[in-house]
Structure 1
């Protein structure tokens, strides 16, 4: 009877240990790829960073592409959680977006620069674009036109005004202070409010 009771406990502890290892590998890979090119990071680098063997990574993810896909899913889920903003409040929306870009923008730009030659990154980029579009539709639901060409046009404008490359232009290339860059994005979003043209 005692062994019957202890077996589920041991299985539960084993599953928990597996999940901890998986998370440690994902976080190690995400950290490495946030500052280095995809091709420059080997499974051995990830294994060393995570404190596991290469075989452990292969067992969990099948290889480098599988690991990259899993990292992309992790980053996407974290972005979805962190980007909680009230609908229609432009300043709050921009502040939430900048909080995300200040933490992950450089890594996003680094990954995007590689999407034409790394299939795993291309898949991640496509997912990120779709996710950003869905976010825009949610936080700007009060101002977007009904479904149709006008809505698509408005979404394209909002996408361009909130893209990570615009953050990079202001913060990295032009060296704007965060406060000034946020104000610039707020002004841009306010200027493209489709309700203005409808009200005119």
Structure 2
């Protein structure tokens, strides 16, 4: 039993170190708006040695790929809300944009010039649409609250409603209100919620 406990503790320590390294990559990238943090900077942020970083990931490119995948998983966790809860959905997505929005906009602005940026923004768009389909599933025509998003049709009124909800909760909708208009976070959230509810009201009459 002691050996089992020791092995489990070591595995937890290894997983914790790996997580710290991945978070260090994301933190440094978001702070500098740059996807090229040095191994030395990453190691220092994670409180490990460069050799430890390489031992976990092998190469810098492999580390970046793992960090992108981990970032998407973290984003899914940050956006997790009860299905059908409109207020929580808008509040959560606005909080996500407040934390990550400016960096995401920077990535989108350079995605055509750098495939590493596109490797983040492309899956990010898919993630947002999948999130909308899941969270607002009870409001879509012909959908039950328990229906999976992947089983629902993208055509017809259901697909149109999904498009409109994706726009109502999109990063650029937040940017237009928060950055371009200079509205407060509370006002931005209120407008995005009102827009989302208007879309849902229109969809429910079809």
**How far apart are residue 39 of structure 1 and its match?**
4.5
TM-score (norm 1): 0.82
Deviations 1:57-106 (A, max 9, x none): 22222333322222222222223223233344432321121122222222
The answer to whether residue 89 in structure 2 is matched with residue 93 in structure 1 is: yes
The answer to whether residue 159 in structure 2 is matched with residue 152 in structure 1 is: yes
Higher relative CO (Cα under 8 Å, sequence separation at least 6) belongs to 1
**Equivalent of 1:73 in 69, 76, 95:** 69
Contact 1:65–1:120 under 8 Å retained in 2: no
Contact 2:29–2:35 under 8 Å retained in 1: no
Contact 1:112–1:125 under 8 Å retained in 2: yes
Q: 1:9 to 1:197 in 2, by over 3 A?
A: closer
Q: 1:196 to 1:28 in 2, by over 3 A?
A: same
Task: Structure 2: state its 5+ residue gaps.
Answer: 143-152
Q: 1:132 to 1:196 in 2, by over 3 A?
A: same
Bigger Rg over Cα: 1
Matched residue, 1:113: 109
Matched residue, 1:47: 43
**C-alpha separation between the residues in 2 aligned to 1:110 and 1:42?**
20
Q: Secondary structure at the match of 1:86?
A: coil
Matched residue, 2:182: 175
Bigger shift: 83-92 or 19-28? 83-92
Matched residue, 1:23: 19
**How far apart are residue 189 of structure 1 and its match?**
1.6
Matched residue, 1:125: 121
Task: Structure 1: state its 5+ residue gaps.
Answer: none
**How far apart are residue 197 of structure 1 and its match?**
4.9
**How far apart are residue 15 of structure 1 and its match?**
2.4
Q: 1:158 to 1:64 in 2, by over 3 A?
A: farther
The answer to whether residue 191 in structure 2 is matched with residue 184 in structure 1 is: yes
The answer to whether residue 28 in structure 2 is matched with residue 32 in structure 1 is: yes
Q: 1:33 to 1:195 in 2, by over 3 A?
A: same
Deviations 1:26-69 (A, max 9, x none): 11111101121334422222122222232322222233332222
Deviations 1:123-158 (A, max 9, x none): 232222222111111221122235223322222221
TM-score (norm 2): 0.80
